[in-house]
Chains A and B, each alone.
Chain A
């Protein structure tokens, strides 16, 4: 790989065009060739903007710059061939339909002679431990495999500086481990690495230096991981960074479970979910675990009354559904469903329907026919409880990841359903939002709600769940790709 003399930032700042706030500001930093840096900071501190600047992806006319950023003494916009970057979302960074073609894409763009392209493609695929032939369709890969392919695409260009922007945030634990081991195995000794990652403990084996950005601008801490976490661990944890070695006291149910709410008898949807039995009661938190492709998300949709079952039955009890208890939930009218069973989706943005946070929260209560003063009271209470008060007038699509997650949970709570079904609610969240979610769900459970969480997050299960159900992967039909939902 190409070597690099270093990255130098002097008083660097960037403000996106049309924004009042600086995305990142007053950063002074020097990174030498071959260093492996973990970049931390509270959400909104500008980590992704900094990586975009280093990758030369901030065109001069797209915002306002302060200070300078140099790679090998050059403006990154002019030295782009020195830098490779891998983003968070696998779906939106693969370009071609076949794996080998995707790795070759960057080489073609850089004008690498045709006879050198395929040897370099094969070399890059081998480095990341890619298990398939280069003719494999990119659509048939799991999320973890797609991210390894994206990594191969970046490495094939032999960058001196490799930037990884939360490359495992959208992956299940097994996929995330695959990507991290690929990074560890693929880097040359003189490749410089800058990694942004929430899950610090997992990222530490890859790095030898930690840099913490301050939310209001500047660098708060910089040094070896030991020194940074010794001196700043408490403050970082309070800001939402997953400082290693900090455990969370579990919150178990304090009372016995109450009424039976929902019973699944051989409930299934071939080929996505094998027949499953379960019962959910009021005042308990049930965690559904299992590998990718076991049908956890499908089960959440079935329990939420959003998909008709392909087999078996789903029965709501009279305490949950009143007179509707004789009909299965997927036949209920939507307002009746929303008042009884709340669903929180993995991707919060799918859930948003209106133009402001306030209207988003008011939608459910209005649809279920509550009078307007009552709607206001419900919304104000939720805004305060989930720290969204300052954002009441904001567009839901402009929220940060943590804010969007809190809003998506709040919208499901607005109609006060007895039962809450959540699909990966802690996905990609910082520690602060994570702790808030544990407390919120525990409070709801103790107030008599039933909670079902589909999750890969072992710590979340340990902190909250009273019971666990582990799904097995159904025998795959030949030729079907792995489930791409984590």
Chain B
């Protein structure tokens, strides 16, 4: 089952902020950090992100569970760079047969891992603390996103967990018909592709039915929409966005002052 539910404590002061403000804050924070290749700025950013986590009402344990794909990719980056990086500058730290680990390689790898975390964590935090309906509402009301897009995506999103059940049902039906791949990898791939095709056909059919049902209830019929759930963009929300920019800029400034700053471009 794919989890799409928010996990934050509902009353946390920053989790309660307008979803568009949270999204903007996360995007700006990440964008500013992308500008540097050094490990210092991302390290400061991660410290800030983790320090603010309680204000978003997310427990560290929950974050670790949500962010495990990040941990996996970090480990992947580390191993790949340490083993295969072409540039082997710096002091040799370890030499075991063909594997030569130098301080330069280790530093580059560390920088990349930290950047991955610093840039991705804000997004993880936003989606862990934001209800999808609230986000769609705020996108329409505060960011002037077209309702056709925001509500349509929301309705489609609701059908995502069903895909897992469908996949299982289709796979079992094929086995019942005498179709299996055994140990043959090519047969396995063909079975995967054809199962995915049936899943896709089913998803399109269901999506079409949903679109007709939405049409029948007057969706996108040209009448100006009203809103049942009001989303407000307040001073506190503006402060959240400003705060995110200020903190990211501070991390960047620190890295420039410490002389570790390496611009992404140029």
B181 nearest CB neighbor, chain A only: A334
- The residue that B218 contacts in the complex, of A110, A307, A397, with Cβ under 8 A, is A110
- The answer to whether A97 touches B132, judged by C-beta atoms less than 8 angstroms apart, is yes
Complex interface residues of chain A between 359 and 392 (CB less than 8 A to chain B): 363-364, 367-368
**How near does chain B come to A484, taking the closest CB pair, in angstroms?**
9
- The answer to whether A335 touches B213, judged by C-beta atoms less than 8 angstroms apart, is no
Most chain B CB atoms below 10 A, which of A84, A96, A157, A305: A96
- The residue that A343 contacts in the complex, of B162, B176, B179, B180, with Cβ under 8 A, is B176
Complex interface residues of chain B between 193 and 232 (CB less than 8 A to chain A): 194, 198, 201-202, 206-207, 209-210, 212-221, 223-230
- The answer to whether A334 touches B179, judged by C-beta atoms less than 8 angstroms apart, is yes
A-side contacts of B213, CB under 8 Å? 87, 92-93, 95, 150
- The answer to whether B228 touches A306, judged by C-beta atoms less than 8 angstroms apart, is no
Please count the residue pairs between chain A and chain B whose beta carbons lie under 8 angstroms apart in the complex: 159
Interface string of A106-140 (1 = CB under 8 A from B): 11111111100110010000000000000000110
Cα–Cα, bound, A393→B179 (Å): 22
Of the listed stretches B90-98, B165-173, B243-251, name the one at the interface; the rest are far from the partner chain: B165-173
- The answer to whether A364 touches B133, judged by C-beta atoms less than 8 angstroms apart, is no
- The answer to whether A334 touches B180, judged by C-beta atoms less than 8 angstroms apart, is yes
- The answer to whether A91 touches B162, judged by C-beta atoms less than 8 angstroms apart, is yes
Q: Is B143 an interface residue (CB 8 A)?
A: no
- The residue that A117 contacts in the complex, of B178, B179, B228, with Cβ under 8 A, is B228
- The answer to whether B226 touches A157, judged by C-beta atoms less than 8 angstroms apart, is no
Q: Is A15 an interface residue (CB 8 A)?
A: no
B211 nearest CB neighbor, chain A only: A92
Q: Is B107 an interface residue (CB 8 A)?
A: no
- The answer to whether A334 touches B178, judged by C-beta atoms less than 8 angstroms apart, is yes
B4 nearest CB neighbor, chain A only: A97
**How near does chain B come to A151, taking the closest CB pair, in angstroms?**
12
Most chain A CB atoms below 10 A, which of B159, B166, B179: B179
A-side contacts of B214, CB under 8 Å? 95, 105
- The answer to whether B133 touches A101, judged by C-beta atoms less than 8 angstroms apart, is yes
Cα–Cα, bound, A117→B225 (Å): 12
A-side contacts of B132, CB under 8 Å? 97
A153 nearest CB neighbor, chain B only: B217
- The residue that B216 contacts in the complex, of A85, A118, A342, with Cβ under 8 A, is A85
- The residue that A412 contacts in the complex, of B154, B176, B179, B201, with Cβ under 8 A, is B176
Which 6 A-B pairs rank lowest in CB-CB distance, beginning with the nearest? A338-B178, A334-B180, A367-B178, A93-B213, A106-B217, A109-B218
A to B CB contacts below 8 Å, 7 in the list? A94-B158, A95-B217, A111-B225, A114-B226, A334-B176, A343-B172, A343-B176
Q: Which residues of B come within 8 Å of A, CB atoms?
A: 131-133, 151, 154-155, 158-159, 161-162, 166, 169-170, 172-180, 182, 194, 198, 201-202, 206-207, 209-210, 212-221, 223-230
